[in-house]
Amino acid sequence: MRRRDVLAGAGSVASIATLNCPAPALAQGVRELRMVTDWPERLLGLQASAVRLARAIGIASGGRIRIEVFPAGTLVRAFESLDAVGAGIADMYHSAEYYFEKKSSAFSFFAAVPFGFTADELFAWVHYGGGQELWDALSGRFNVRPLLCCNTGAQMGGWFNQEITSLEALRGIRYRMPGLGGEVLRRLGAIVVNLPGGEIVPSLESGAIDASEWIGPWEDMALGLHKVVRFYYYPGFHEPGTGIALGINEQVWQSFGADDRQLIESVAAGEYARSVAEFNANNALWLRKLRDEGSVKILPFDESVLRASLQASNDVIAEAGAGDELSRKIYESYRQFRASIMDWSDVAERAFLNSRRLA
């Protein structure tokens, strides 16, 4: 997308002259930055995390760095955040990298891939398994420096207007799902679409779509999904721990001194941990509320659906990493780290969680 195309879609009343300024505004030593997000304005969890991150950077910098947060549709349209930041229209974004899969399918490895990393495993790969360097190389092509800054934890499989008792039930349904998970469902016969979060409920109400995943009970009920659909499935094999990125314009990033770059990295890492805890705590609470209300059937996917999804996922993920040389390096790094971390997770967390149920 060209710079003027993004500008044409901007919803802000700011002047073109202001938007064309690639450098952060400076006022008496204070750096004023613009963060765009791909989330609705009042969305709990994700949008709130973006605002909290911006405030935390401001506090940690002693007020020297001020970040104004623009939700989707205010400065730029949803899903245009990468283009906007790369072009200098905004200084940073808060988004899920799989929204940029048309630029490169390898972006999905740094958000979520089906049957891939949990929140802890993704953080481990990016920070201690070589993922960050590969991500820097990928995003650098678009003039962006990326950092993990949030994670939703394990997600749910989605909301459906009918029961999904077999693979046959998936064929022909219009299913909102982004990223590589969407491609998996497409290969299983679903008609896959991608919509911003704010458009999901109206689309379900109108019949434009038959099913949709979002995140988990907390965020899903905040959107009102439980009021329009009655079947809620798990597990969310497509997004076992969805990472959210803070993407910073490369020139803005390089203009910071080493201390401020470390400050931003540390605050982003802290918000990552806090967001996982927040999602887990609230999902547990709202799952109980949803069960108590009794108006929604909370059901596991049939094993045949999961087996077919896993088989299709292996092909989809391999194809996503089969592009150029960098994509192949990212896929190979992901594949090797996943094999290693799965062994440890099985011996450690899975074994413990199973034993906790013995009583």
**Same domain assignment for residues 124 and 246:** yes
**Same domain assignment for residues 147 and 114:** yes
Q: Which CA distances in Å does 185 have to 114, 166, 188, 348?
A: 11, 13, 5, 31
**Same domain assignment for residues 9 and 145:** yes
The parts of the chain modelled with pLDDT lower than 50 are 1-23
Helices (H), the chain: 3-9, 16-19, 46-60, 81-87, 119-128, 131-140, 179-187, 200-206, 217-223, 250-255, 258-293, 303-320, 325-345, 351-356
Domain membership of residue 133 (yes or no) is yes
Per-residue pLDDT reduced to its tens digit, 193-225: 988 888 999 999 999 999 999 999 999 999 999
The confidence score (pLDDT) of residue 28 equals 67
**Same domain assignment for residues 218 and 103:** no
**Same domain assignment for residues 255 and 317:** no
**Same domain assignment for residues 9 and 38:** yes
Paired tokens of 336 = 């090797």
**Same domain assignment for residues 94 and 202:** no
**Same domain assignment for residues 48 and 142:** yes
Domain membership of residue 285 (yes or no) is no
Q: Which residues of 34-73 are buried (b: 16+ CB within 10 A; e: fewer)?
A: bbbbbbbeebbbbbebbbbbbebbbebbeeebbbebbbbb
**176 DSSP β-pair partners:** 193, 212
Domain membership of residue 289 (yes or no) is no
**Same domain assignment for residues 180 and 115:** no
**CATH classification of the domain holding 36:** 3.40.190.170
Q: Which residue has the tokens 């299983």?
A: 188
Domain membership of residue 357 (yes or no) is no
Domain membership of residue 341 (yes or no) is no
In terms of residue numbers, what domain contains 177?
Answer: 158-239+294-329
The confidence score (pLDDT) of residue 8 equals 38
**Same domain assignment for residues 272 and 309:** no
pTM: 0.89
Q: Identify the helix (H) or strand (E) that includes residue 159.
A: strand 158-160
Residue 94 neighbours by CB under 8 Å, 6+ apart: 35, 36, 37, 38, 39, 46, 49, 50, 53, 69, 81, 149, 150, 244, 245, 246
CB of 242 within 8 A of CB of 154? no
The confidence score (pLDDT) of residue 25 equals 54
**CATH classification of the domain holding 200:** 3.40.190.10
**Same domain assignment for residues 101 and 235:** no
* Beta-sheet pairing, 191-193 with 144-151: unpaired
The distance of Cα 309 from the centroid of its chain, to the nearest Å, equals 20
Per-residue pLDDT reduced to its tens digit, 94-122: 999 999 999 999 999 999 999 999 999 99
* Number of domains into which the chain is organized: 2
Domain membership of residue 348 (yes or no) is no
Domain membership of residue 190 (yes or no) is yes
- The CA distance from 205 to 214, in Å, is 16
**Same domain assignment for residues 107 and 253:** yes
Q: Which CA distances in Å does 13 have to 55, 89, 138?
A: 24, 13, 32
Domain membership of residue 342 (yes or no) is no
